Chain A
């Protein structure tokens, strides 16, 4: 149960990060997405890169991203993911949610600290 809970919390943020990445960089394959998150988070986030694929599948099912087989830089066959119009809409909603929640959490934490 505890594990599931942790992954669920992580799940939501990872989905959001992937959406944001695809929004920012355009079509990417899984490896590229993992690299981008690694780069942006500056190794603060310990990420099992395999989880990226679970997230991608979930996003695909929701219709927020689309996938297409293509060729990577080094001429390998790879699946490329890109954000859809509905994905963009969802990204806006989720971003706003996230900012609101993190703002609240931050305030609460500051309050704790002042006491």
Chain B
């Protein structure tokens, strides 16, 4: 850095510091001046003046102290308020004069700022501040991660014993609470309705620190043995089910057969466990049975003590987990790690990187917008050179000119921000509608709020600096005399000023290509995701869970007594092709079970997924058989010990052997509330693989057995129909009620809709937004390329006229202009390609496995699209240039 630059830097620093240390400095300055005056007076007195004359003479010689103070103040700070007012007035007047420029600039900036504001709102409300609780940043949960498994995640449900061990023996938590699921049936009118309930441990509401909206929260006495049964309701449930009627407070509801009083309704943003109703329960040591006869599992949440890191917490929890693994080795993998995750990680997880990718994209879009406005400003500055030169000659300092132009930029940016807030406000509604609901915390409310508006303001000021500084510095740097001499239409004049505008266009094209490649990759990824073969046909399938009242449905015979007539009734509904019972919903398999095969010995434990079904299952989901056969109706009715396995099961455990007739032991069935003794089953069929761990994870070994072998397990009804699946809802409900009035449909849906929401909503959101921003970027770049070329050709009309007068053909001129434009576009494209490759890592996490960030098809396609559009943008100015009449062009001036 040269001496001058350092001096400038120091001066700016001194001024910035001057903002803070002003008062003391002012006093010192005063003292210094007073001392000087006094010395002058002394001198004059010594020369023989009277005291009064000397004072007057001293003041005369020293000059006006007030003016001096003002000079000093202006020097010391960056701007004086008075000058700022003048600059502001001037900027408004000058922008008002060129309306078209102002409108285009504000629209461009508004688009960029609006898009960034909208995305930042989402990030702020979903990632940064989603939880309205006390200290949500310190709320963590534990995962037991099996290190033998490649993918992330692990068990996060704990038995009562484990919960109490963690709660009592840790050294890292201020408090530990837990919740466990329960499907709650309650009598409403003639039939029953279903709510998603959570059993919550003592201290839960103190932990969250949120009071009830109406009534009160659960308190310690509610957990005492013999206390009156009570519960608390979520706001959303209260609004949907009871239209927000305050009259339901203190009413008694029969929940799963127990009369409980509703004592409180929570505020809208309370969403713990997404439970409709919260029921007090004190965990006790010993095996407790939870929903559907499965062992109760607690989801545990702890608050880290202040100063305790996640790593420290993980180390402490590992000690306890190791101890527990010794007591209950069956519940722990051979090698495991304890992960400590923040509350937000429950839902957001993968979505977080998606949102940040989109924020980056929006930043790029804003950058392109800035580029366009900077180019407009540069062009404008060129035509205003004479004005600036005149100002400079008349005594406006360099800083003054820079400041004036920066104030103009700031006015534009603030205008853009105002428009941007409007755009964000509207766009946010669309974004929220497109957002995958299962990927964001229930507590988050997406809206424009104070932090978001502050963000917008900061972005606006930054943009003003980005697009305004270069033109401003440039305008101020020019030699004063040149523009006064130059008529602005000379042969040489146009070339020199173009370099900076060219650079901006090249950068814009590069950024736009990066954006387009990102969008292209996400699009390819999304298409690939849609093409993944689930292994089943999800269309035209209606699904509903049917939680059966536990008091009346304990044994296999009781459950069969419900489903046999129900399936017959459902199959009789017009339009229904087939129906089946199942214990799990695709794309997930059933419960995990230990497994042995007779005649096979193995050292490590073998595990398989285990699902209970009726005979229609493979027909309803159209899952093809590879070997053997499906269950017969008789086998289901008699609860025969037969099993169907998937191909992965065979290739994992029986590679190269004939699976038919092999006997397997499914130990998991022994642990159920309605256990199966000596659970040996004979394999009668092998089906093709069906995704059973969600889309991303590889297929696990899976076994299907007749649902009639046990009364435990979740119950699901799947129906294949000829019409729209959800149209069956009422008929199915009637069939259920005809079988048992005490059973309610839980989460009825079309299988395909639920799978879409579950698996595609996140990627679709990312790809949708990226595509929108990519297209906006492309439009902005087209405008940018066009305006630069149009401006350059307009300035070179004279030159083109001379060329044509000297014999150049129209095609030569056409070629010249298009070549100039395409050179910029291809330079930008080359830089953009390099940038994309460098940034590939960022987007790689968002891509479907197998798709690389340097996917050649995507790179080629988007580059072609960009260059094509760029050529189009060159065409119009080129045509106009070619139509220049040399006579007119030369006569002009």
Contact = CB atoms under 8 A, between A and B. Distances in A.
Interface of A: 1-2, 4-5, 8, 30-31, 34, 48-51, 53-54, 57-58, 60-64, 76-79, 86, 89-90, 93
A31 B68 contact: no
B394 A1 contact: yes
B38 to A, nearest CB: 8
B35 interface: yes
In this complex, the member of B15, B28, B395 whose beta carbon has the largest number of chain A beta carbons within 10 angstroms is: B395
Nearest to B25: A57
Secondary structure type dominating chain A contacts: helix
A51 B15 contact: no
Given A50-B63, A58-B11, A79-B28, 11 more contacts: A48-B62, A50-B64, A50-B67, A51-B68, A53-B32, A54-B71, A54-B72, A57-B75, A58-B75, A86-B6, A90-B3
Nearest to B76: A57
29 contacts: A5-B394, A8-B395, A31-B39, A49-B40, A49-B61, A49-B62, A49-B63, A50-B63, A50-B64, A50-B65, A50-B67, A50-B68, A51-B68, A53-B68, A54-B71, A54-B72, A54-B75, A57-B72, A58-B75, A61-B11, A61-B14, A61-B15, A62-B10, A77-B35, A78-B32, A86-B3, A90-B3, A90-B7, A93-B3
A8 B35 CA distance: 26
Given A31-B36, A54-B68, A64 B63 contact: no
Contacts of A50: 33, 36, 62-65, 67-68
A51 B70 CA distance: 12
A89 B3 contact: yes
A49 B3 contact: no
Contacts of B3: 86, 89-90, 93
Interface residues of B, number: 31
B29 interface: yes
* B32, B65, B397: most-surrounded residue (chain A CB, <10 A): B32
List the 9 closest pairs (A to B, CB-CB), nearest first.
A48-B63, A5-B395, A50-B63, A61-B14, A61-B11, A50-B68, A62-B7, A63-B10, A31-B39
Given A5-B394, A50-B62, A54-B71, A31 B35 contact: yes
A16 to B, nearest CB: 15
A53 B3 CA distance: 23
Contacts of B35: 31, 76-78
B461 to A, nearest CB: 24
A1 B400 CA distance: 12
Contacts of B72: 53-54, 57
A2 B10 CA distance: 29
Contact of B36 (A34, A58, A86, A93): A34
Among A34, A57, A61, the one with the most B-chain Cβ atoms within 10 Å of its Cβ is A61
A76 to B, nearest CB: 6
B63 A61 contact: no
Given A62-B11, A89-B3, A49 B71 contact: no
Contact of B10 (A53, A54, A57, A61): A61
A36 to B, nearest CB: 14
Nearest to A32: B39
Contacts of B11: 58, 61-63
Nearest to B65: A50
Contacts of B33: 50, 53
Given A5-B394, A31-B39, A57-B75, A63 B6 contact: yes
B6 A53 contact: no
Contacts of B76: 57
A48 B65 CA distance: 10
Nearest to A93: B3
B7 to A, nearest CB: 4
B80 to A, nearest CB: 13
Given A50-B62, A57-B76, A63-B6, A1 B68 contact: no
Contacts of A8: 395, 397
Contacts of B71: 54
Contact of A51 (B6, B7, B63, B397): B63
Interface string B1-31: 0010011001100110000000000001101
Interface in B66-90: 67-68, 71-72, 75-76
Interface in B312-347: none
B48 to A, nearest CB: 18
Which of A34, A49, A64: most chain B Cβ within 10 A? A49
Nearest to A76: B35
Contacts of A54: 68, 71-72, 75
A3 B40 CA distance: 26
Contacts of A30: 32, 36
A37 to B, nearest CB: 12
Contacts of A86: 3, 6-7
Contacts of A51: 63, 68
Among A63, A79, A86, the most chain B Cβ lie within 10 Å of the Cβ of A63
Contacts of A58: 11, 75
A87 to B, nearest CB: 10
Contacts of A89: 3
A64 B7 contact: yes
Nearest to A52: B36
Contacts of A60: 14
Contacts of B39: 31
B73 to A, nearest CB: 10
A93 B7 CA distance: 14
A10 to B, nearest CB: 12
A4 B243 CA distance: 72
Given A50-B68, A53-B68, A54-B68, A4 B395 contact: yes
